[in-house]
Chains A and B, each alone.
Chain A
Amino acid sequence: MTEYETVVGLEVHCELATATKLFCGCRNAFGEAPNTNICPVCLGLPGSLPVINRRAVELALRIGTALNCTAQRSIFHRKNYFYPDMPKDYQISQYDEPINVGGFLELPDGSRVGIERAHMEEDTGKTTHVGGGGRIHEAGYSLVDYNRAGVPLVEIVSRPDISSAAQARAYVDELRSILVATGASDGRMEEGSLRVDANVSVRPAGAAEYGTRCEVKNLNSLRSLERAIGYEVARQIALLESGERVAQETRHWDEGDGRTHALRSKEEANDYRYFPEPDLAPLVPDARLLAAAAEGVGPMPAERRRQLSELLKTGPEPAERRDGSTTDQVVTVVELGLDELVHGAVTAGADPHLSLARAANEAAANPDAAKLLDPIAFAALLKMESSGQLSATQSKEVLAELMTHGGDPAQIAARLGYEQMDGAALDSMVDEVIASNPEEWRRYRAGEEKVAQFLLGQVMRASKGRANGKLVAAAFVARRGV
């Protein structure tokens, strides 16, 4: 069997989180009673005219900046086709002169996906086909809600740089965190704030030409995106293997049967007759707009991951491997927006690796509370742990308390009875454990390292978790050497 490689390009429609619609003053809101956020403009009533929402332009530019795109003078076109949920029977969109071109998105694994363009357009209304299984051709009748008509969208078109279903998923996941980070979108796929179409093709490994692609629609979650691409790749390979050809078509992902289905050719045989929208002036990203756009764009996740990795290099390598890999922890911490907490703690003197681990594991369990943590208190706690004043277990308990109720870590530790175990108490406890476990002590002294864990456990039990594991281990090592 021939080896195949997968080629995927994604088109992501992102609803902008503006207060009002793209061309009128109607509220841009999800989930309200049908046809309540409408006016002559977004209903396309005769005589009405569009006026661009500058905030939407700012957010579009902000997305472009975050995706390393170039902002340029752009114009709107009309995309003409008849559909009941399109009030004007044309969509105002951008065609060959979009607002953002030529960027890239860096994924957590370091791979880069090129961004062809990120252009502005208006959303359509929403049609509900009643009867006939929800398809327009079989429906008894249809209901149209125009609340969504005219909601601002940015369509982000990737280059066909994605080579697997998993990478496609990672791309959308990363893109979503960027869109949320810029404030351009709420990123809710389930509410349709983020809608993904996938252009999927396969070709023999190393081939220069692309295979015939299919556009897969109705991908409403990261999971369906990954599954649909996986299915589609297998379907196309099976076709090619059996000597058939892949037909270029639009296919609909069915979450229920886990397959893609070809749409009726009638639904896609459209000549959109694009032409420049005469009701709108060209958009020129002047200095004021660019400044407003840049204002909301902090460092993007890729850059923040890099900064966090750099931070780790400033501290000592951890003596023992903590839970999970450092790379995963970095990704998690950045995704949850806890990287500032880690930077703050390290600045306040905490160990970088320990800060990262506690942020990625314990703090991540309640990210909203973690974001409110005072980095100095967090650092103080971590320093108590590093110095042996608190065991790892105790430190986690104090952290949980700190996140729930706030306060001073030392006081919390005292209240919980985690007062410092002094050296003498610890020494006598170690000696007691040695005395009561002579056989294990003998084996440990003979070089059986795994017994160390048992001995340590005995001390921890005796101290009710108050002993510092590192200090106990050191005590055993010291005694063995005597």
Chain B
Amino acid sequence: MTARQAPGIGTVTGIAAAVRSGEISARSVLQRSLERVADLEADLHCFNVTTAEKAMADADAVDRLVGSGLDPGPLAGVPVALKDNLCTEGIPTTCSSRILAGWIPPYDATVVSRLRSAGAVPVGKTNLDEFAMGSSTENSAFGPTRNPWDTTRVPGGSSGGSAAAVASGMVPLAFGSDTGGSIRQPASLCGIVGVKPTYGVVSRYGLIAFASSLDQIGPFAATVADAALGLEVVAGHDPMDSTSLDLPAPQLLASLSDGVSGTRIGIVEDFLSDVSPECGEAVVAAGEALAAAGAKVDRVTIPELLLGLPAYYIIAPAEASSNLSRYDGVRYGLRVDGPDAETMNARTRGEGFGPEVKRRIMIGTYALSAGYYDAYYGQAQKARTLVIRAFEAAYRNFDVLLTPTTPSVAFPFGSKVDDPIQMYMCDVCSIPSSLAGHPAVSVPFALSPEGLPVGVQVLAPALGETVMMRVAASLEAAAPGQARGPVTP
């Protein structure tokens, strides 16, 4: 099945400008968005819940502001989709897990309140792998999301719902979370742009934790400029998150089109051999395109980056095993009764969590156990340090690094779900920057022989978002248009 390019809904920057100037109403933009959702949702299942009524009220509020000569903000009237692990006041937030079904948060995540104050209009909560654990959204308790390029294939994960919603033109902007690749991988598989910012640039307050030292929220959009604007709006210090960096939001748009002349770009060779040919070839082609645009492109080997995957699959489950303890049936969410607290607890968790979440809780619990801590968690932290040092060394010679985002294009449903290791391997290229807390972006760059999008990943050192997004914009300019969403299934 081949997707066809869709007109979609327009760009973030275009919508915001038109709404701010009064050229179009936020209500009409929202209506187009909701129509598109109505048309495609049955095929794609991007959303766990849509909030049309509330969105309509929000859009009207934006229009009233414009009508009274006030500026609703940089995202005026932009419909936005939120991964269902971002807390939204008064709107169910489930993490695509039975254990949280029906839970309604009493507060908004910092990201959500910043989007609202910027004039954005949230339209719903998007599907994900349960608690963001997975690379296909097949681990959702509420059924998988389908890839708009080919509905027999996965959209990637864990932020598959957000990626598919943008790729199918339901919304021009969506937010997800990325722990080991959960923004970049689905962005790559869906032919859109996905950014994982530097750890600490975007507040995690209100993001339901998977692995706290790795989780970061970031934007999905069809274009680099739209993603940059989305990131600018949500970034910046938040006193509610102790790991939030005490810095203002990065200014990305201003220099986005300054080009890459003289920028030092390293193609990381270590990932090229183990990925599918089209994914490797896209990186090489991207390097050539950047060289043609004036960048200094060279090859580099950083073998330590291959330590990332095993280290990640100790550290992330270890933190998850602790973060997910609170789902005990006592205070909120699912409760399966029992004769005593322990039994109630065990039954609730037994019925509430899916198999992948249980697997990671068990791995993590084991890795932190007395007597095993040093051999697993301790070793993994050492490997993490090696990855960080290897990056440091590489960034002495390069401004950014280039790798595949994923080892393969979108794969068919069921092809990896019974083989956790195969599924985990999807993250091999995206994990190192997560462990280092560095920013990374996936940019659609090519089409596979089957007509599926292939992304290229640009990595930068901590707080290197500006140069990273500039390189991404150059790649976008060089990439063939048909590699990008939005598409209609």
Contacts and interface: CB of A to CB of B under 8 A. Distances in A.
Contact of A47 (B208, B213, B321): B208
Interface string A115-155: 00000000000000000000011000010100000000000
Interface in A23-57: 40, 43-52
Contacts of A82: 325, 328, 342, 345
Q: Specify the main secondary structure of chain B where it touches its partner.
A: loop
Interface string B186-220: 00000000000000000011111101110000000
Interface string B202-246: 001111110111000000000000000000000000011111000
Given A84-B330, A273-B368, A278 B212 contact: yes
Contacts of B100: 46
A87 interface: yes
A49 B318 contact: no
Contacts of B341: 84, 136, 142
B369 interface: yes
B326 A87 contact: yes
Nearest to A78: B322
A226 B209 CA distance: 46
A88 B241 CA distance: 17
A279 B208 contact: no
Given A82-B342, A87-B331, A275 B377 contact: yes
A88 B331 CA distance: 10
A273 B105 CA distance: 29
A125 to B, nearest CB: 10
B368 A51 contact: no
A47 B322 contact: no
Nearest to B333: A46
Given A48-B205, A49-B205, A137 B332 contact: no
Interface residues of A, number: 31
Given A273-B369, A281-B243, A46 B326 contact: yes
A52 B332 CA distance: 25
Interface string B325-350: 11010111000000011100100000
A82 B327 CA distance: 10
A144 B242 contact: no
B226 to A, nearest CB: 26
A139 B321 CA distance: 29
A283 B205 CA distance: 20
B345 A49 contact: no
B87 interface: yes
Contacts, number: 102
Contacts of A46: 87, 93, 95, 100, 103, 105, 208-209, 326, 332
B209 A80 contact: no
Contacts of A161: none
Contacts of A286: none
Interface residues of B, number: 45
Nearest to B109: A47
Interface string B147-169: 00000000000000000000000
Given A46-B103, A84-B330, A89 B240 contact: no
A49 B332 contact: no
A246 interface: no
Interface of B: 85-87, 93, 95, 100, 103, 105-107, 109, 204-209, 211-213, 239-243, 318-319, 321-322, 325-326, 328, 330-332, 340-342, 345, 365, 368-370, 373, 377
28 contacts: A45-B87, A45-B106, A45-B107, A46-B87, A46-B95, A46-B100, A46-B103, A46-B105, A46-B326, A47-B85, A47-B93, A47-B205, A47-B209, A48-B205, A49-B240, A49-B243, A82-B325, A87-B326, A88-B326, A89-B328, A90-B322, A136-B340, A273-B365, A275-B322, A275-B373, A278-B211, A279-B242, A280-B243
Given A44-B331, A89-B325, A275-B319, 12 more contacts: A45-B107, A46-B105, A46-B326, A46-B332, A47-B109, A47-B209, A49-B243, A50-B242, A88-B325, A142-B341, A144-B330, A273-B373
